[in-house]
Amino acid sequence: MLTNKIRIAACLIITASATQSVVAQSDTPRITPETIVRYLSQDLFLSPGVGFKQVQVGQPFARVAQVWGTPSKGFESSETGNKVVWLYLARNSSISLTGGSNVKTIRIEGSFNSPFASSEGAHFGMTPHQVISIYGRPEENEDLTHLSYPSKGIEFSFEHGGLKWMRVFPPKS
């Protein structure tokens, strides 16, 4: 997972360095190795079975509040079988955390312009076939509207042929 990010960063840095003279001649913002590293250091990548770097499955909600602050919405829900649901609205996306005293699941819903992605490269707007090319055949729900990988701790849902949300949870053995 980390090596994939390092490879991506290296490719982007090489590309940015090679195209720097072309970019400098236009009015578009410059893509530099520093801007790429700054982008990759943001907590935008969701790892299956884990979550983000700073907010992870299994952490207490008190830790989430320290890192992300007060949620946009928070409520208790008995319908979902979980006691707590926290919702954060960020960067054209909504992130919901569910659990009891600790985070049990992290779900991100977004559109094609959301900056969030899985650590393996699945991003919003992808087709089910593109996600399958990254994660392989789904372990459950092969109807191309919902792909589930319980042993990896991730699932995907699609709307109008594009990835609408992804959810991580503890992997099942």
Is 150 contained in some domain? yes
- 31 and 63 in a single domain? The answer is no
For residue 160, being part of any structural domain is answered with yes
Q: DSSP secondary-structure letter at 30?
A: P
Per-residue model confidence (pLDDT) at position 74:
84
Instruction: Kindly state whether residues 92 and 130 are assigned to the same domain.
Output: yes
Find out whether 148 and 32 touch, Cβ atoms under 8 Å. no
28 and 89 housed in the same domain: no
Q: What is the pLDDT of residue 15?
A: 45
Range of the domain at 105: 43-168
60 and 93 in a single domain? The answer is yes
Do residues 55 and 14 both lie within one domain? Answer: no
Q: Is residue 67 part of a domain?
A: yes
Structural domain contains residue 162? yes
Residue 18 has pLDDT above 60, yes or no: no
Residue 21 lies in a domain: yes
Q: Which residues contact 99 (CB under 8 A, 6 or more apart)?
A: 61, 82, 83, 84, 105
What is the Cβ-side half-sphere exposure of residue 62, based on CA atoms within 13 angstroms? 1
Predicted TM-score (pTM) of this structure = 0.74
Residues 22 and 84 in one domain: no
- Amino acid 42: pLDDT: 67
Give residue 78's pLDDT: 63
In angstroms, the Cα distances linking 100 to 48, 56, 83 are 20, 14, 5
Same domain, 80 and 148: yes
Q: Mapping DSSP to helix (H, G, I), strand (E, B) and coil, where does residue 65 land?
A: helix
Q: Comparing C-alpha atoms, which of 50, 51, 32, 52 is closest to residue 42?
A: 52
Helices (H) and strands (E) in the chain, counts: 4, 9
Based on the domain organization, do 144 and 81 belong to the same domain?
yes
Q: Is residue 173 part of a domain?
A: no
pLDDT digits (tens, 9 = 90+) for 58-104: 999 999 999 888 888 887 766 656 578 899 988 789 999 999 889 99
pLDDT value at position 2?
Answer: 47
Do 22 and 99 belong to one domain? no
pLDDT band at 34 (very low <50, low <70, confident <90, very high): low
Flag whether pLDDT at 5 surpasses 80.
no
Range 128-134 contact pairs with CB under 8 angstroms and sequence separation of 24 or more:
128/156, 128/158, 128/161, 131/156, 131/163
Total structural domains in the chain?
A: 2
Give the pair of three-digit tokens for residue 100. 């009891």
Residue 143 has a pLDDT of 82
- On whether both 33 and 56 belong to a single domain, the answer is no
In a domain, 133, yes or no: yes
**Within a domain: 92:** yes
pLDDT at 19 (0 to 100)? 44
3-state class (DSSP) for residue 4: helix
Contact 124, 118 (CB under 8 A): no
Q: 162 and 95 share a domain? A: yes
